[in-house]
Structure 1
Amino acid sequence: MPRALSTPPVIAPGSLGGSPQPVLPVTGGLLLRPWEEADVPAFLSAYQDDEIRRWHTRRPSTEGQVQEWFEAYRQDWKHEKGGHWAITCDDDAEVLGRIALRGLDFDDGMAGVAYWVLPAARGASVAARGLRSLTTWALAEIGFHRLELDHSTRNHASCRVATKSGYLLEGTKRSAAVHDDGRHDMHLHACIRGH
């Protein structure tokens, strides 16, 4: 049974799931596009990288698991729970990284952001450019009011991406996430529409 709200939702239900997941342009000749079957090997290989493994404890270990993840990503879009994109060059299909909107809250107009970049693409602002494009689309076109991201306080590269992309550091969530080496404090960043 739908719950009664005293205020209308910030984003109308059906705003995303009723349309195909978009391909979003990124400055410098990059694209954000939905994951494709051909991306399975690249996605799986990403989780063999020590840095990605260090910060991402939920990892696929087989191509079959990646295919299950991709199907879950399609369902997330359909049911307006999230959007998951490959970051690629616009002139070929090479996967450079991943970016996602998760935990979509249409009532309050909020969502979380996550990303990683493959080793060969690091140092070229791939994550920051992708994050800025996704942020502009989510805030200006879709109508989200607040986007959040968090990362381990030990992940200095992710902190640089967040601040470079206009996500202000709001504080530290103590002992908020489990990593392979134990619990980590997490920095909380946010970007607010119109700020």
Structure 2
Amino acid sequence: MTRAPSTPPVIASGLLGGSRQPVLPATGDLLLRPWADGDAPAFLSAYGDDEIRRWHTRRPCSEAQAREWFEAYRQDWTGEKGGHWAITRDGDVVGRLALRGLDFHDGTANVAYWVLPAVRGAGVASSGLKALTVWALDEIGFHRLELDHSTRNHASCRVAAESGYVLEGTKRSAAVHDDGRHDMHLHARIRGE
């Protein structure tokens, strides 16, 4: 009996890792660019913010560790495991975006983000997320992008909705935060929506 060949991957291997990580413009004079070693002080400082700490339990403890993370981010890109961007305005870091868990066969990935207190409520997260989403779905060819956040994180829920990510449901007791387990909202955006 002849077996049917495997379905082809949605995205060809080598598409990302074989090129430089792009710099992506976003509305509001924002630029998404790869993290640089000189960003370590701003990155470390961000994780000192109570809101960022509340929702992100994996945190660097030194500038040296932040630079180690940046190196891991570069390896994620070349290994086609993920992409990590600093959201900048006029050269200053104002936030973070990540595309993680890349699955080229199914054409899926997960998105994560945070922004600094000084720009919260100013559309920075949604502007950056929209730019990353257009690039990932329309230019690279991902079919589905997912993001999840604690059901208690109402600001993140608003960013997801404003960026066209449909709330699909609640993953019960799906993540550990400093104050215990949280239910997580699952949002997704599909190419062509």
> What do residues 16-35 of structure 1 show as CA deviations (whole Å, max 9, x unaligned)?
00000000010121100000
Q: Distance in 2 between matches of 1:131 and 1:81?
A: 19
TM-score by length of 2: 0.97
- How far apart, CA to CA, are the structure 2 residues paired with 1:167 and 1:131? 10
What does residue range 39-118 of structure 1 map to in structure 2 within 5 Å?
39-89=39-89, 92-118=90-116
The runs of 4+ residues in structure 1 deviating greater than 6 Å are none
1:128 is paired with a residue whose SS is helix
The 3-state SS of whatever aligns with 1:124 is coil
- Structure 2 gaps, min length 5: none
Displacement, 1:93?
1.5
* Identity level (%): 79
C-alpha displacement of 1:5: 6.0
Residue of structure 1 in register with 2:30 after alignment:
30
Q: 2:180 and 2:5 mapped to 1: Cα distance?
A: 40
2:120 paired residue number: 122
Q: Structure 1: any 5+ residue segments left out of the alignment?
A: none
Across the two proteins, how many residue pairs are aligned to each other? 190
The amino acid across from 1:158 in the alignment is S
* 1:10 counterpart letter in structure 2: V
2:181 is equivalent to residue 187 of structure 1: no
Q: 2:163 aligns with which of 162, 165, 190?
A: 165
Q: Does 1:175 align with 2:173?
A: yes
Q: What SS class does the counterpart of residue 85 from structure 1 fall into? A: strand
RMSD over aligned Cα atoms: 0.9
Could you give the per-residue CA deviations for residues 74-128 of structure 1, whole angstroms, max 9, x where no partner exists? 0000000000000001xx3100000000000000000000000001111110000
Counterparts in 2 of 1:42 and 1:5: CA distance versus 1, 3 Å:
farther
| Equivalent-residue separation in structure 1 for 2:68 and 2:7 (angstroms) | 37
How big is the shift at 1:37? 1.2
